[in-house]
Amino acid sequence: MRNIFLFIRKFFNFFFFLVMQITALYMLFHYNEFHEAAFMGVANDITGKVSKRYNNIEYYFHLKKTNESLAQENERLRNMLKEDFEMADTSTVLRTDSIPYDTTGVRRKYLYREAKVVNRFLQFQNNYFTIHRGEKQGVRKDMGVISPDGVMGVVVNTGDNYAVVMSLLHRSSSISARMKKSGETGQVYWDGVSPNSIFIKNLPKSVPIAKGDSVVTSQYGTFFPQGILIGTVTEIVDDKSSNFYLLKLKPATSFSSVEHALVIENLQAEEQKKLEEAVKKTNE
């Protein structure tokens, strides 16, 4: 307590000046309309800037919650896409004003499940992701996985609550793809060199191709619905000894920063697989 009094005594003149200055400013701004208006304008401007910075900081700390909410919304909207429902061909023409939902899942072809990326391996020629979704959440091997931007890879191993995804940046990765403009199909693969480049092969030179063209998943694969973005053309390699182009692509997914994913279940894949295997056996 004694030290407090000594401190006040030492700086008494300064505190007295400060009190008088505040009193003088109060009287100036309170009893003079011009100065009061000027003071309020400056005060509002300062308050607005402080509030803006506070909101920016608050928004930054809420990004995680916002991203999770967007991922869940993306899952819900994906499960409402008309393209993910497929009806068998019949001789009867059916007309309907709404998407043919079926609670038994018979007519639905693709089902999406939101997942969070919890680990990644990107330093090798064979790269993987780990997602926090497993068999208890309905995830199994050979399910496609996409990011909010495009194709990520395919599930290759599962546990109760986790699954390992073979990345598109894997030497064994091969995805059926097509040019979005022309519809011509080919195979997308990675050469194991740069994580910023993937390739598509088996495209005839008769197909009109330009830099910036989009490459999407085709209708021939079972992992992904058709039309999911894989990448965009950055270079056209014209091999004079071949009748096919080799295209270099920039992947749609940023593999070094992806945090959220969607696991895609093809509900009709098993039926297709059994029929195709039966045909193969009869031809052996």
Taking only the tens place, the pLDDT of each residue in 5-41 is 677 777 777 777 787 878 876 776 666 665 555 655 5
| Predicted pLDDT at 55 | 58
Q: What is the mean pLDDT of residues 191-199?
A: 91
- Reported as a single tens digit per residue, the pLDDT across 43-97 is 556 655 665 665 566 555 556 666 776 676 676 676 666 555 554 444 444 344 4
Domain map (residue ranges) of the chain? 2-61, 113-279
For the chain, percent of residues with pLDDT exceeding 90? 27
Give residues with Cβ within 8 angstroms of 154, minimum separation 6. Answer: 142, 143, 144, 145, 165, 166, 173, 223
**Cβ burial 211-244 (10 Å sphere, 16+ → b, else e):** eebbbbbbeebebbbeebbbbbbeeeeeeeeeeb
| Predicted pLDDT at 33 | 61
The CA radius of gyration of the chain, in Å to the nearest whole number, is: 31
* Domain boundaries 113-279, corresponding CATH code: 2.40.10.340
CA distance 112 to 262: 6
- Reported as a single tens digit per residue, the pLDDT across 106-164 is 567 888 999 899 988 877 888 999 999 999 989 999 999 999 899 999 999 999 999 99
Contact (CB, 8 A) for 78 and 112? yes
| Predicted pLDDT at 83 | 55
**CA atoms within 13 A of residue 45's CA, in its CB half-sphere:** 6
| Predicted pLDDT at 167 | 93
- Reported as a single tens digit per residue, the pLDDT across 161-184 is 999 999 999 999 999 999 998 889
